[in-house]
Amino acid sequence: KAGVTQTPRYLIKTRGQQVTLSCSPISGHRSVSWYQQTPGQGLQFLFEYFSETQRNKGNFPGRFSGRQFSNSRSEMNVSTLELGDSALYLCASTPLGQGAEKLFFGSGTQLSVL
């Protein structure tokens, strides 16, 4: 069974641009969560989608948005990039109704904002 796939693996953008990251969950998983990982703040929860609906949201500005498609694939978008948005963005999926012991992570997208 394929794992959680995130594309692209690396991205370099400049301030003010926007970026879209993609996540394909494990087959059969319907919940997708996004996390931002930085050396200073650790792992911070961005948002979670289930059946194309955002169910939970972390404490991030509106420049961070996401969506989920009918096949459970998810994208997150960051508009008007700032230097502080440089981070590893991780996606995780879980089956319906399962707890975090069933949370599977992708390898992440490393975003560098210059």
State the residues that interact with another protein by CB under 8 A. 4, 31, 33, 35, 41-45, 48, 56, 90, 92, 94, 97-108
The burial class, CB within 10 Å (0-12 / 13-18 / 19+), for 15 is exposed
Cβ contacts of 13 within 8 Å, gap of 6 or more: 19, 81, 111, 112, 113, 114
* Whole-number Å distance between alpha carbons of 109 and 16: 19
Whole-number minimum distance, CB 12 to another protein, in Å?
Answer: 17
Residue closer to another protein by CB (options 13, 103) is 103
Q: Which is nearer to another protein, 17 or 88 (CB)?
A: 88
CB of 54 to another protein, least distance (A): 12
Q: How far is the CB of 31 from another protein (least distance, A)?
A: 7
Q: 56 has which bridge partners? A: 48
Q: How far is the CB of 22 from another protein (least distance, A)?
A: 15
